[in-house]
Amino acid sequence: MTKRPASCLDAFEADAISVDTARQIITDTITPISASETVPIRESLKRYLATDIISPINVPPHTNSAMDGYALAGNDLPTNTAIDYKIAGTSFAGIPSTQTYQSGTVVRIMTGGVMPAGTDTVIPQELVEKLDDQTIRLEPEHKAGQNVRHPGEDLAIGKKVFEKGRKLSAADIGILASLGLGQIDVLARPKVAFFSTGDELRSIGENLKEGEIYDSNRYTLFAMLKNLNTEIIDLGVIPDTEEAIEKAFTQAAAESDIFISTGGVSVGEADYIKPTLKKLGETHFWKVAMKPGRPLTYGTLNHNKRQTKFFGLPGNPVAVMVTFLQFVQPAIHYLASGKQEKSITLKAIAKETIKKRPGRTEYIRGIFEQTPEGEFIVRRTGKQGSGILMSMSLANCFIHLNADSNGVNEGDTVEIQVFEGLI
Ligand code: AMP
Ligand code: MG
């Protein structure tokens, strides 16, 4: 490459920080939420536990059968020849046997039925020869202690079941129910405010005049925030004036833990985001060596001794989604849980050549699939302009090219970040 003067189109910019440095600055400057609230477990999906959960009971609480069959003492099992047994009683789930177990007999038992005192073995009904209503025959092929579940086998009393900060899943909620816990303490949800900037933006329902477009960023942001279980505050479209932007900043800082703007972070004449952050708060960074999403501002505003974090995302719809997913989403996760998110990546074979110059990280919208041989292959969605939101709609992954990558040849292995679970 021939040397030429630096321009704002250069991939490498001395004042742009790396993606990793930006992520580090974000976690270093965020204090995770400590406020908590008590909620019914049905409302706890995707919420973060505010305390450890210690099992108050044994699950299962009593020794019970894992099969439909016949319970008896293991000592009474036949050893050499078949033995006939009288059916002396029943133990069904929730209706335990009332008789005392007698050696030499069996108790008809159903899955979940309490093992009668003196029995320790269940023979599944399929392995039993039924002679009549009262009698069964067992062959000498069974082992003592089979098909029985023991108290606390699933969860033992006094044991830590879940750790503070855990994000609750459907299975977790089932476990809480099995412990008899109807409500639990979870961390307060982050309050996230956002607004769009741009005089060209119209809201749905308005007519478009020449040069105007519908605001889509507020809708993608809303959907991504909803996915994260945050309290959402939509502050609407803010005109490109210093006063209006300052007012939006002040309102957002008062109402939210994190607020997000889109647009107005370039160096255009009507770009008031950076100067407003400088005036009202502290700027941590304002440019990241990445594509799309280079003009990305991050800072802190203080309001009544409380801190609010601010993300000034670019205006282009794809850049909004990329910067949200790479920075704002991990920030919200850390704020909400106190834990750092580990993003899952896969290796895939590039099915086409991708040009790139070293200097910045690129998030290319890709479509990956698994071949019948089990290999992952990936290609681009097509046009990659940061205004082409269809590239995000069509994509099912980002092709993640590190800052030092100088492009990809067809057949090279690349790292992909799969959207499943991400958006
Ligand atoms: P800006 O960063 O404000 O210069 O915006 C960059 C580009 O993104 C411009 O073409 C804007 O029209 C477009 N844009 C900004 N905000 C939005 C929005 N909320 N919805 C759709 N497009 C937007
Ligand atoms: Mg603008």
Indicate if the pLDDT at residue 6 is higher than 50. no
Q: Based on DSSP, count helices (H) and strands (E) in the chain, helices before strands.
A: 8, 26
Split at pLDDT 50, 70, 90, the class of 186 is very high
Distance of CA 419 to the CA centre of its chain: 11
Does residue 276 carry a pLDDT above 70? Answer: yes
- Whether the CB-CB separation of 242 and 272 falls below 8 Å is answered with yes
> Of residues 142 and 303, which shows the higher confidence score?
142
Confidence of residue 266 (pLDDT cuts 50, 70, 90): confident
Compute the mean pLDDT over every residue in the chain, rounded to the nearest whole number. 94
How many residues appear in the chain? Answer: 423
Give residue 202's Cα distance to chain centre: 33
User: Of all protein residues, whose CA lies closest to atom 16 belonging to ligand 1?
Assistant: 315
Average pLDDT over residues 315-331: 97
pLDDT of 5 strictly over 80: no
Query: What spacing in Å lies between the alpha carbon of 264 and ligand 1's midpoint?
Result: 8
Per-residue pLDDT at 8 exceeds 50: no
Which ligand has an atom closest to residue 214 CA? Answer: 1
CA of 273 to the centre of ligand 2 (A): 10
Proximal ligand: closest to the CA of 314:
1
Q: Which residues pair with 361 in a beta bridge?
A: 290
Between 190-194, 366-370, 398-402, 417-421, the lowest mean confidence (pLDDT) is in: 417-421
To test the pocket of ligand 1, the residue of 199, 213, 222 to mutate (highest count of ligand atoms within 8 Å of its CB) is 213
Residue 215: Cβ-neighbour burial (10 angstroms; 0-12, 13-18, 19+):
buried
Q: Which pair of tokens denotes residue 262?
A: 């889109």
Summarised one tens digit per residue, pLDDT across range 70-114 is: 999 999 999 999 999 999 999 999 999 988 999 999 999 999 999
* Mean pLDDT, rounded, for 311-319: 97
**In the block, which residue shows the tokens 């609750």?**
168
Q: Decide if 191 contacts 230 (C-beta within 8 A).
A: yes
Residue 37, pLDDT above cutoff 50: yes
pLDDT(15) > 70: yes
CA–centroid distance, 264 to ligand 2, in Å, is 4
Question: Are 175 and 161 a contacting pair, CB within 8 Å?
Answer: yes
**How does DSSP classify residue 408?**
B
Statement: residue 162 has pLDDT above 70:
yes
* Residue 217 CA to ligand 2 centre (angstroms): 12
pLDDT for the residue numbered 109 = 97
User: Counting beta carbons within 10 angstroms of the beta carbon of residue 95, is it exposed (0 to 12), middle (13 to 18) or buried (19 or more)?
Assistant: exposed
What distance in angstroms lies between residue 195's CA and the mean position of ligand 1's atoms?
12
User: Which pLDDT belongs to residue 418?
Assistant: 95
Min mean pLDDT across 115-124, 228-237, 341-350, 404-413 is at 341-350
Pocket probe for ligand 1: among 260, 265, 316, 386, the residue whose CB has the most ligand atoms within 8 Å is 316
Task: Read off the pLDDT band of 341 (50, 70, 90).
Answer: confident
Atom of ligand 1 nearest to the CA of 266: 2
Rounded-to-integer distance, Cα 309 and Cα 101, Å: 68
Tell me the percentage of the chain whose pLDDT exceeds 90.
89
Q: Give pTM, 2 decimals.
A: 0.87
Handedness of CA 198, 199, 205, 209 (dihedral sign): negative
Ligand sitting nearest the alpha carbon of 262: 1
* Separation CA 147–CA 392 (nearest Å): 52
Q: Is the CB of 190 inside a 6 Å radius of any atom of ligand 1?
A: no
Is the minimum distance from the CB of 50 to ligand 1 under 6 angstroms? no
Give the model's confidence band at 12: pLDDT under 50 very low, under 70 low, under 90 confident, else very high: low
Please, are residues 190 and 258 in contact by the beta-carbon 8 Å criterion? yes
Q: Which ligand is nearest to the CA of 295?
A: 1
Cα of 396 from ligand 2 centre, angstroms: 28
For residue 52, pLDDT over 80 is answered with yes
Residue 174 predicted with pLDDT over 70? yes
What pLDDT sits at residue 1? 42
Residues 6 or more apart whose Cβ sits within 8 Å of residue 207: none
CA separation, residue 302 to residues 177, 193, 273, 299, 306 (Å): 41, 15, 16, 10, 6
Share of the chain above pLDDT 70, in %: 96
Pairing of strands 258-262, 306-313: parallel
- In a mutational test of the pocket of ligand 1, which residue from 221, 262, 390 has the highest number of ligand atoms less than 8 Å from its CB? 262
Assess whether the C-beta atom of 343 lies below 6 angstroms from ligand 1: no
Tell me the one-letter amino acid at 256: S
Once rounded to an integer, what is the mean pLDDT over residues 327-343? 93
Amino acid 14: pLDDT:
72
CB 366 within 8 A of CB 397: yes
332 DSSP β-pair partners:
none
Q: Is 263 in the pocket of ligand 1 (CB under 6 A)?
A: yes
Q: For residue 2, name the pLDDT band (cuts at 50, 70, 90).
A: very low
In this structure, are residues 184 and 41 in contact, taking their beta carbons and an 8 Å threshold?
yes
- Please compute the mean of the pLDDT values over residues 351-366 and round it to a whole number: 96
Quick one: which atom of ligand 1 is closest to the CA of 196?
19
Per the DSSP assignment, residues forming a β-bridge with 320 are none
- Contact (CB, 8 A) for 129 and 83: no
Query: What is the residue with the minimal CA distance to atom 17 of ligand 1?
Result: 315
pLDDT attached to residue 269: 66
**pLDDT class of 3 with cuts at 50, 70, 90:** very low
